[in-house]
Structure 1
Amino acid sequence: MAHINTLDPGASPLDYYGFELRRYREAAGLTQRQLGEIVNYTGSLVGQVETARKVPTPEFSERVDAALGTGGLLSRLVELVLRSQLPGWFQQVAELQARATKIYSFEMGMVPGLMQTRSYARAVLGALNQADLDDRTTVRLGRQRIFEKDESPIYWLVLFEAALYLQIDSPATMREQLAHLLAFEDDPRINVQILPYRTGAHAGMTGSFDVYRFASDPSIVYTESYGSAHPTANPETVKDCSLRYDHLQAAALSLKDSAELMRRVMEDRYGEQVA
């Protein structure tokens, strides 16, 4: 465990964040407990963040920035911290997502990370490994901050219908997750289409994939396997997957019909059951 007096701000973005948090807190003449009371967190959590034992959330950062008058420093740092905590093999992908102007995603089996709620993400990440689960969930959700930018990417998701029926965690978690997807129903920059079972054989049978498009760089296709990422700018691969995505969008339900299906599944399959 790192001791607060020996914390090296150059060791990692997380260490630097903790160092700056402690510096601003002490300059304000506050104890960890006092700061915690102001921002509605425990003093223990403040101490864990200061000693790089806990990953800060964007919400924590915003509250501390306001309380300590940092000028938004911690809110800017937290993006770097969250990205640095991603698995090494995925960090390049997160960078691509952050730079993309358009993201086209096809998912076969579950709601993708950019659209997951906290409870859904926590259940997915904890299916086999419970270690540091809160921190890993925070890091995954941190990727969604790309949608908070002034020029957020246009995001298009084609989701196979099976993902609606695969119960991740509890019915309450699924209701929350589907409600989250429906919350974007009137947002022209985030679009969700459902590829129905009745489609049969389709252009995405070989698996999930993303296509990232950029303002001035070549497009990139991304696929992944267990513990490894596979981005490629190979023109033939990009051309092939772009064509596949066009066909998937054409075969999927319209945005309106997709929302109606998600709403129906949320109510019929995961609604409150009366004994």
Structure 2
Amino acid sequence: MVHINVLDPSASPLDYYGYELRRYREASGLTQKQLGAIIAYTGSLIGQIETARKLPTADFSERADAALGTGGLLSRLLPLVLRSPLPAWFQQVAELESRAVEICMFHTNLVHGLLQTDKYARAVLGTLDQSNLDDRVAVRLARQRIFDKGQPPVLWAIIGEAALRQEIGGDEVMRGQLARLLSFQNNPNVNIQVLPFGVGAHAGLQGSFDLFRFTGDPAIVYTEGYGVGHPTANPDTVRDCSLRYDHLQAAALSIPDSAKLIRHAMEERYGEQPGSEPRSLA
């Protein structure tokens, strides 16, 4: 017998959507596979939506409404689902990274975890808290395995110049971290741009954010507070952050010029000898 998760429809709008989808499907006497055949989606996808493990789309909602005779209920619920805080499992950023086909990230003072070296990650995570440090570093670095997939995501990373000059872990750690960034120069799936100090006021002054895009699912914006993740599929927020990211890319240095600035920071601040090749840490 297949185990069926028991949903609490009051837990979140997404849980309520899944609960109503299952209720209407079962009232129609259809299995997930049968409903999938009717609306041209897989039974597995329907199961994921029913258990609040996947976001529905407008097309899915319209087809399910028509097939189940809901009177448009699911389509009416969809805006509420997308504009509400997403449930707990969406707050695991590694889940978003592993599913995304494109990741656009903007960070001002820190190199993002997907681009960190072991030593840099250790210095960051060990600030004020040395407990279980080996395990925490291993978990962070494990997220970088998404680049080893057969079809890795395309990553666009805009890094504030401050991240190049904020010394974390000492000269050796920073040399290694900047060399890590330079090691992606010939990788078309990883594109790194630096937002220089000279830009002045820019579209990212409100703070860092990540934008995740998926195949067939709504895009998600992810921001962080102190120890708390804030993912949202709110179309207005996604639209705003997408526009901000376009402006940040226009203001940032080109990919080749960014590499030159990274190299300059290595030579000027951390003692990298001119002309020497960066170590590949990929």
Which residue in the other structure is 1:156 paired with? 156
Which residue in the other structure is 2:127 paired with? 127
Which residue in the other structure is 2:270 paired with? 270
Question: Secondary structure of the residue that 1:192 maps to in structure 2?
Answer: strand
Does the 8 Å contact 2:91/2:230 carry over to 1? no
In the alignment, is residue 191 of structure 1 matched against residue 191 of structure 2? yes
Which residue in the other structure is 1:239 paired with? 239
Does the 8 Å contact 1:105/1:209 carry over to 2? yes
TM-score normalised by length of structure 1: 0.66
Which residue in the other structure is 1:172 paired with? 172
Q: Distance in 1 between matches of 2:173 and 2:93?
A: 27
Unaligned runs of 5+ in 1: 1-87
**C-alpha distance after superposition, 1:193-216 (max 9, x if no partner):** 000001000000000000000011
Which residue in the other structure is 1:5 paired with? none
RMSD over aligned Cα, in angstroms? Answer: 1.4
**C-alpha distance after superposition, 1:177-233 (max 9, x if no partner):** 000000000111001000000100000000000000001100000001011100000
**C-alpha distance after superposition, 1:142-180 (max 9, x if no partner):** 011111100000000000101100000110000000000
Does the 8 Å contact 1:89/1:228 carry over to 2? no
Does the 8 Å contact 1:117/1:176 carry over to 2? yes
Question: Secondary structure of the residue that 2:128 maps to in structure 1?
Answer: coil
Change (3 A) 1:257 1:131: same
How many Å apart are 1:92 and its aligned residue?
2.3
The total of aligned residue pairs comes to: 186
Does the 8 Å contact 2:175/2:272 carry over to 1? no
Q: Distance in 2 between matches of 1:90 and 1:217?
A: 13
Q: Distance in 1 between matches of 2:181 and 2:145?
A: 16
Q: Distance in 2 between matches of 1:241 and 1:265?
A: 29
Which residue in the other structure is 1:217 paired with? 217
TM-score normalised by length of structure 2: 0.64
Q: Distance in 1 between matches of 2:227 and 2:177?
A: 25
Question: Secondary structure of the residue that 1:157 maps to in structure 2?
Answer: strand
**C-alpha distance after superposition, 1:8-46 (max 9, x if no partner):** xxxxxxxxxxxxxxxxxxxxxxxxxxxxxxxxxxxxxxx
Alignment of 1:40-55 (within 5 A): none
Does the 8 Å contact 2:156/2:190 carry over to 1? yes
Q: Distance in 2 between matches of 1:123 and 1:91?
A: 24
Does the 8 Å contact 1:203/1:247 carry over to 2? yes
How many Å apart are 1:91 and its aligned residue?
5.6
Question: Secondary structure of the residue that 1:188 maps to in structure 2?
Answer: coil
Change (3 A) 1:272 1:266: closer
Larger radius of gyration: 2
Does the 8 Å contact 1:108/1:162 carry over to 2? yes
How many Å apart are 1:90 and its aligned residue?
8.0
Q: Distance in 1 between matches of 2:263 and 2:252?
A: 16
- Structure ranking higher on relative contact order (CA contacts 8 Å, 6+ apart): 2
**C-alpha distance after superposition, 1:80-99 (max 9, x if no partner):** xxxxxxxx888622101100
Which residue in the other structure is 1:99 paired with? 99
Q: Distance in 1 between matches of 2:139 and 2:106?
A: 22
Structure 1 segments of 4+ aligned residues over 4 angstroms from their partners: 88-91
| Amino acid of the structure 1 residue aligned with 2:270 | Y
Q: Distance in 2 between matches of 1:163 and 1:143?
A: 20
